[in-house]
Chains A and B, each alone.
Chain A
Amino acid sequence: MRSTVSALWMLALLPLAAQGQVSAPAQGAPPAAAVVPPAQTVTVSSTRDPVDKSYRRMIKGMLRFEREHALAPQATLRFRLLPRTPKVDMDGITLKVVGDGISVPVPVAPDNSFTLPRNEQALREDAAVLANRKTTSMTWRAQVITPGLPPGARRLGDLRLECLVGVEAGLVSNRSPLFGWIADTLNSPEQVCNSPDGNFLFFTERPLFSVTLSAGARREILPFRFLYAGGEQTPDMLPYCDCQVLLDRTYYAPIWDRSWPDDTLLTFDYMDDANAPEASP
């Protein structure tokens, strides 16, 4: 709550800051009118868009995966790009880690998944992970998959870890740009992934009709409100949702509900009748 209040006051101060009315302490500083700083030339070799994915944060996500690996001991971590805007071309995507003095290509698999190399210089330079697409045209997710599951099934512990890594890595962007920085202050991985109100979205490969949870003898169908981002997205809300063009593939998993063990399996009934197994999330 304290962080909420702080965030609200910071928001209230924004317009003042924009007008130059919030100043740093001026202890010992000469009167502004008397100071004429010498002209300086600054060379900027690349520019960072505020929505670019941060290499540092994605590496933090990878470290989180290592710390929380017990949730999915057999699983491996990849990142995955999914379409977000209607016209984005998801073929031929290239990625690179770009800092002030470094550019490292990142191989992208045919399913648009990838892993990030560790690079100290990129960390030092606070590099960005850039695609040859507008960053906001795609949904970015962590992908944690335990091998050997029944065809088409997902494991709840894998999804728990996907949430923790995804939030830690700063991949989620279900928000208006105006309030995005506030969401960051309010939404730690624990707050998002351990709360029924965390609203962390998962996606299937095909349009979804029903999701069933199974753990031992316990078996439940997910309620309607767990599908399609709650089923309440209006056209004017969708541009602010990671689910913008994936609405019919979107579901919430009860990752916060510890009465479902990590080994709980999720199985999917799709809108179409094909029985082809789901290759990945």
Chain B
Amino acid sequence: MTRRAVPMLALLLAGCASAPTPGTLVPAERFSQRVVPGTTTRAELLAAFGQTRTVVFDSGMEAWLYSAAAPGGGASELVLLLDRGGVVRKMRVRPPAPGDQPR
């Protein structure tokens, strides 16, 4: 029992520290041309850029994360907010920051 419990707990604790999955990599220019807040829909996103990392909230809103190669190296985050009807409401681009470090 003791021999089993210790490694099992270690595995459980290790599982808590797994790194987040980045968003699907997309071409930045095409993304900025195709995605228009207030217009672009979930179906259009899936068709153009494929599935990616999403967070679905109890409210029905969704946050989607795509990534794009940044000009100076690294990756920019392209974050979308989809409303309950599946339409993009907000978008933000976060370039890689010099101070980026693992959280």
| Residue on B nearest A197 in the bound complex, by CB | B17
User: Chain B residues in contact with chain A, CB under 8 A?
Assistant: 1-2, 5-6, 9-10, 12, 17-18, 20-21, 23, 53, 55, 57-59, 61, 63, 65, 77, 79, 81, 89-90, 92, 94, 97, 99-103
Chain B residues within an 8 Å CB radius of A157? none
Chain B residues within an 8 Å CB radius of A248? 57-59, 61
Closest CB pairs A-B (n = 8): A12-B2, A248-B57, A225-B20, A221-B94, A231-B55, A196-B103, A12-B5, A220-B97
Stretch of A70-78, A135-143, A252-260 at the chain-chain interface: A252-260
Distance, CA A279 to CA B65, complexed state (A): 29
Chain B residues within an 8 Å CB radius of A254? 103
| Besides A207-B61, A271-B61, 14 other A-B contacts (C-beta < 8 A) | A11-B9, A12-B1, A209-B63, A209-B79, A221-B92, A223-B77, A223-B103, A224-B63, A227-B63, A231-B53, A231-B55, A231-B65, A247-B55, A247-B57
* Nearest CB on A from B55, distance (A): 5
Chain A residues within an 8 Å CB radius of B18? 232
* A182, A225, A254 — most chain B CB neighbours (10 Å): A225
CB–CB B5/A228 < 8 A: no
Distance, CA A223 to CA B6, complexed state (A): 35
Distance, CA A248 to CA B77, complexed state (A): 18
Distance, CA A228 to CA B81, complexed state (A): 13
Q: What is the count of residue pairs linking A and B with beta-carbon distances less than 8 angstroms?
A: 86
Interchain residue pairs with CB less than 8 A apart (30): A8-B6, A8-B9, A9-B2, A11-B5, A11-B9, A12-B5, A12-B6, A15-B1, A207-B59, A207-B61, A209-B79, A209-B90, A210-B79, A221-B92, A223-B77, A223-B100, A223-B103, A224-B20, A224-B63, A224-B65, A230-B20, A231-B20, A231-B63, A245-B58, A248-B61, A257-B101, A259-B99, A269-B90, A269-B92, A271-B81
User: Chain A residues in contact with chain B, CB under 8 A?
Assistant: 8-9, 11-13, 15, 86, 179, 182, 196-197, 207, 209-210, 220-221, 223-228, 230-232, 245, 247-248, 252, 254, 257, 259, 269, 271
| Residue on A nearest B80 in the bound complex, by CB | A209
Distance, CA A197 to CA B53, complexed state (A): 21
A226 touches which of B57, B99, B103 (Cβ 8 Å): B103
